[in-house]
Amino acid sequence: MADSRFFNNQGPFTLGEIAERVGAEIADGADASLRLDDVAPLDSAGPGHLSFLDNPKYAEAFAATAAGACLVHPRFAARAPAGVALLLANEPYRAYARASQLFYPDEARGSDTFGEPGTIHPRAVVHPTAKLGAGVTVEPGAVIGAGAEVGAGSVIGANAAIGKGCTIGRDCFIGPNVTISHAHVGDRVILHPGVAIGQDGFGFAMGLPRHEKVPQLGRVIVQDDVEIGANSTVDRGAGPDTVIGEGTKIDNLVQIGHNVSTGRGCIVVAQTGVSGSAKLGDFVVLAAQVGVTGHLTINSGAQIAARSAVIHDVPPGQKYGGVPARPVREWQRELAAVKNLGKRRKTGEGSASD
């Protein structure tokens, strides 16, 4: 059960209410009026809990669960233990995510960290020309600069700094120690602690007798429903803007260089770096520790394996991996060939002159 000191449970909800929320079908024999208090994993759930089965690896845990109800694909319904009410869904994990949002809405959208929602703390500094919408929370130590605008219902966390002229949309969560400058942020954006948005891009005219700084005159545009993980950085553009597309999710410790643009719904996993002026299409996936060279395009639907180095454009819908990144099947064949060559050397089938 989630610790109530940190998480605000809005339950209980009936099975019928949950089914309506997540778009699931109540299985025959299940009682729509069954009240459920919380969500929990299969192995720790009790009679008042909703759980789920998505991965067949956990079929045994499903067969032994004591959960009151479970979200499950219809093909696994017959494995349910007696007494467990079933909600049938083609995508149980997505349905569970929506159900969890019902119980814990604050965790889906971000909430205040200090404990005084909807207030402007006296130790915050808000410039007289800044505009704050209804119900905005500004926590201790936060600074909001001249002409900045913050939309209704947004939270500005402790010690966050919102630079002059920046705009932040409605129902955003700007975590503690976030810095935002030269940026426009859409609605329902979540920026976790330590995120830095809009600082200078790394732009220099290099040479003797010194490297000359190139003024970075663009902005950062963060579109609606974006989430950016802790201590990630998004540089502002050098002239064109840096753009983070609608619904994109960025993990912790990611670096996005100047002039980069991402499409809608991209996934960028931890410790990835995207160099300046690279372009990502819609629903691109960059796994952990990927490096992307500047001025190239990763087209829509492409997926890049972890620890890969992308140095050429990637066609739409393709899976690439390796250093340098190439089509996954080609990369895997090369790895297999090297592995087999090593085995041959070890058993004496080859020689140094082969």
Q: How many CB atoms lie within 10 A of CB 334?
A: 12
| The amino acid at 234 | V
Examine the residue annotation and report whether 258 is marked as an active-site residue of this protein. yes
Q: Name the active-site residue from 182, 258, 295, 312.
A: 258
Decide: residue 29, CB within 10 A, 0-12 exposed, 13-18 middle, 19+ buried: exposed
* Pairwise CA distance, residues 174 & 99, whole Å: 24
Nearest-angstrom CA–CA distance, 54 and 41: 12
Number of neighbouring beta carbons within 10 Å of residue 256:
29
Under DSSP, the state recorded for 314 is B
**What are the residue ranges of helices labelled H in the chain?**
15-22, 59-64, 92-103, 105-109, 328-347
| 35 phi-psi bin (left φ>0, alpha ψ -120 to 50, beta other) | beta
Helices 15-22 & 92-103, crossing angle to 10 degrees? 120
C-beta of residue 252 within 8 angstroms of C-beta of residue 236: no
DSSP state, residue 63: H
Task: Mention every residue, 6+ apart, whose C-beta is less than 8 A from residue 238.
Answer: 201, 203, 214, 216, 217, 218, 258, 259, 276
Cα(339)–Cα(183) distance, rounded to whole angstroms?
49
Distance CA 305, CA 325 (A): 8
d(CA 268, CA 173): 20
- C-alpha 313 chain-centroid distance: 24
Joined together, the tokens standing for residue 100 give 């969890």
SS3 readout for 210-231: CCEECCCCCCEEECCCCEECCC
The residues annotated as belonging to the active site are: 258
